[in-house]
Amino acid sequence: MAGGCCGGCAAPTDRDDARAWRRVLWIALAINDGMFGVEIVTAALGVFGTGRI
């Protein structure tokens, strides 16, 4: 039975998938937080609305 997978080929578990997605979401949150920080700083400096960008 050459077509069967009886060896050590294990598929990733649901737990591994959940950890991977959790990491992706944390990275996206960090990027979003960084963009929010830039927006707050530029608004505080009055850069937007002055035509300098």
Domain boundaries, the chain: 14-52
pTM comes to: 0.58
Which of 3-12, 19-28, 40-49 shows the highest mean pLDDT? 19-28
Look at 21 and 10; give whichever has higher pLDDT. Answer: 21
Question: Distance (Å, rounded) from C-alpha 4 to C-alpha 8?
Answer: 12
Look at 52 and 26; give whichever has higher pLDDT. Answer: 26
Amino acid at 2: A
- Statement: residue 11 has pLDDT above 80: no
Q: Residue 43: what pLDDT?
A: 87
Question: Distance (Å, rounded) from C-alpha 47 to C-alpha 38?
Answer: 11
Q: Residue 21: what pLDDT?
A: 95
- Statement: residue 23 has pLDDT above 60: yes
